Amino acid sequence: MSRYKARLVAKGYAQTYGIDYEETYSPVAKMTTVRAIIVMATTKGWSLHQMDVNNAFLHGDLQEEVYMEQPLGYVDQTRPNLVCRLKKTLYGLKQALRAWSDKIS
């Protein structure tokens, strides 16, 4: 084993439409588009490069007001009753993908 991985996942299933999230639709590239662009690049001699985003879903800015319980194991002992107001999206949130695609476009 070389390293351990952990991620904080929000309980998206507890979110209510209209309160914690609005739109969740988000676009992805159609495969035909991808193929057409590859053909284009090939015949015109353009170079094709590739990148990937680390933790894409953590980049999205949250438009809605969403609160989360303090994560297990990281509860503030002096103020255990407080909750966290989220500023950025987390894995598990229904709008995570959408917020991300808004950000990148």
Partner 1 sequence: MKKTDHGIVVIVIYVDDLIITGDSDADIFDLKKLLKQKFEMKDLGELHYFLGIEVVQSPKGIWLLQRQYALNKLSKYGMMGCKPISIPLEQNVKLSANEGDLVEDTTMYRHIVGSLIYMTIIRPDLNYAVGVVSQFMQTPRKPHLDAVRRILRYIKHTLQCGIFYEAKSQLQVHGYTNADWAGNVSERKSTSGFMFSFGSGVVSWNNKKQPIVALSSMEAEYRGATITTCEVIWLQKLLLDLG
In angstroms, the CA 45 to CA 23 distance is: 40
- From the list 3, 4, 45, 80, which residue makes contact with partner 1 (rule: CB under 8 A)? 45
- Of 62, 63, 49, 67, nearest in space to 88 by CA: 62
In angstroms, the CA 57 to CA 44 distance is: 34
Within 13-32, which residues bind partner 1 (CB under 8 A)?
28-29, 31-32
The β-bridge partners of 4 are: none
Only one of the segments 7-15, 38-46, 68-76, 80-88 lies at the binding site for partner 1 (rule: CB under 8 A); that segment is: 38-46
When asked if residue 73 is in the footprint of partner 1 (CB under 8 A), the reply is no
Residue ranges that bind partner 1, judged by CB under 8 A: 28-29, 31-56, 59, 97, 100-101, 104-105
